[in-house]
Amino acid sequence: MSPAALTPEPTFQVRPVIKRKDQKFNFGAIVEGLDLNNISDDDVKNLKDTIWTHKVIIVKGQKDLTPQKHWELVTRFDPAASQVHSHGSIKTFQAKGGLLSKSRDVYGIPGAENVRLIGKGYQGDDHYGLKNVTVKGLSNNFHADPPNEDEFQQGFTRFQRWHIDAPLYARDPAWFTTLRAVKLPSGPDVTIRWDDGSGLSMQSPPGLTAFFSTSQLYGLLSAEEQQLVDHSWVEYAPHPYMWIENCKAPSNGLGLKSEGKEHTIEELGDYDERAIKRYPCAWINPVTGEKAFQVHGLAVRKLFLRSSVDEQPKVVEDVNEIRAFILDIQSRILRPEYIWLPEVGEGDIVMWDNYGTFHSAVDYPLEKYGPRTMHQANIGASRGPVGPVPIPSVS
């Protein structure tokens, strides 16, 4: 009997996303019939497999989910993991978060500090114990050339920053991120523009999160390119988000403009050489076996390229060359037909596979659409990514 046969069928329903004819993304599902405040161990296992399989899911109807139960669910996905948010405590995040801590306000929910309040605008007199908080939120100021303010107020915006939720130092990336919509902005669709000369754009309700699949991206590579990324790996900078805290993004939010604004290693202060992360360029999905080109181009400090285990790797340390290599691959998937913006309702929770997708927030004008309130939680994984070919050990 196979191991799968020993797990009871899920008590919840899973239905694929209905796509328009012009949409080519190959992931996403809607989950109904669950109460995450009261979920069995079997359904936790089935929900976990559902995320790995569909990559991004919307679990409907979780208005009553408490922050404590939210965090408990995250720990049940990976019970062997250290019981802390993947970016560490609020104090650690603020001290070493660099770009991330500078770009937005993050608050821990009292009594469940690993569940983070993120969003934009005034959050009310008392939000789960947080009193009179106004959240700055992400903005298009991360772009080297921000959009025109008058056009932004009319609803023209951009992808803020394409990324995975990963500390890239000391702790391994969370398998999944969970994001519950507590309060959403409302109003007409915003227009997301690439503003990179391509003329590309797409419409979206305000306040959503955009996704593309890096396993679908892997499938867009040639056989020779797949052979190369299967055998190659990257090394991330120590305290990577501090390293790039002064850097800016191009107008489509993918990667960084190379303007020589990275800190020197000496400027980062003390770090542990053993905590530096080296990951394969291709990550294998533990349930489906798919490969994903999963490289966080913002923070790569060294690139090791080879096409076989016997080949001596070419070591690339010039950030311009590193970013050009990564961008050449990732830009193939950055098209409207490959991007999904899950349309959540208040109380819905989006869960996604951090090992097979990238995502980006999309800013909107607060005065026109109103506040956004989200609860986000993930946990640094007990086991990090696995590639098709092991990375050589570093002496």
Tell me which residue of 299, 341, 360 sits closest to 162, measured CA to CA. Answer: 360
Indicate whether 4 pLDDT > 90. Answer: no
Domains of the chain: 14-215+336-378 (3.60.130), 222-330 (no CATH)
Q: Residue 21: pLDDT band by 50, 70, 90 thresholds?
A: very high
pLDDT of residue 2: 46
pLDDT of residue 101: 45
Across 49-66, average pLDDT: 98
Which burial class, exposed, middle or buried, applies to 344 when counting CB atoms under 10 A from its CB (0-12, 13-18, 19+)?
buried
Most confident of 4-8, 249-253, 264-268: 249-253
pLDDT of residue 90: 56
Across 287-315, average pLDDT: 97
Taking CA atoms, 390 is separated from 33, 238, 282, in Å, by: 40, 22, 11
In tens, the pLDDT along 129-182 reads 999 999 998 888 899 999 899 999 999 999 999 999 999 999 999 999 999 999
Across 19-32, average pLDDT: 97
pLDDT of residue 8: 80
Give the amino acid at 303.
Answer: L
Cα end-to-end distance, the chain, whole Å: 43
pLDDT of residue 106: 77
Across 53-70, average pLDDT: 98
Question: Lowest mean pLDDT: which of 6-10, 59-63, 191-195, 264-268?
Answer: 6-10
Torsion angle of C-alpha atoms 97, 104, 348, 40, degrees rounded to 10: 20
Across 252-277, average pLDDT: 93
Q: What is the mean pLDDT of the chain?
A: 93
Quote the pTM value: 0.93
Contact, 190 vs 203, CB < 8 A? yes
Classified as helix, coil or strand, 321 is helix
Contact, 35 vs 44, CB < 8 A? no
pLDDT of residue 92: 60
pLDDT of residue 102: 55
Across 244-248, average pLDDT: 93
In tens, the pLDDT along 220-242 reads 999 999 999 999 999 999 999 99
In tens, the pLDDT along 333-363 reads 999 999 999 999 999 999 999 999 999 999 9
Q: DSSP readout, 178-215?
A: EEEEEE---SSPEEEE--SSS--EEEE-TT-EEEEEHH
In tens, the pLDDT along 99-119 reads 444 556 779 999 999 999 999
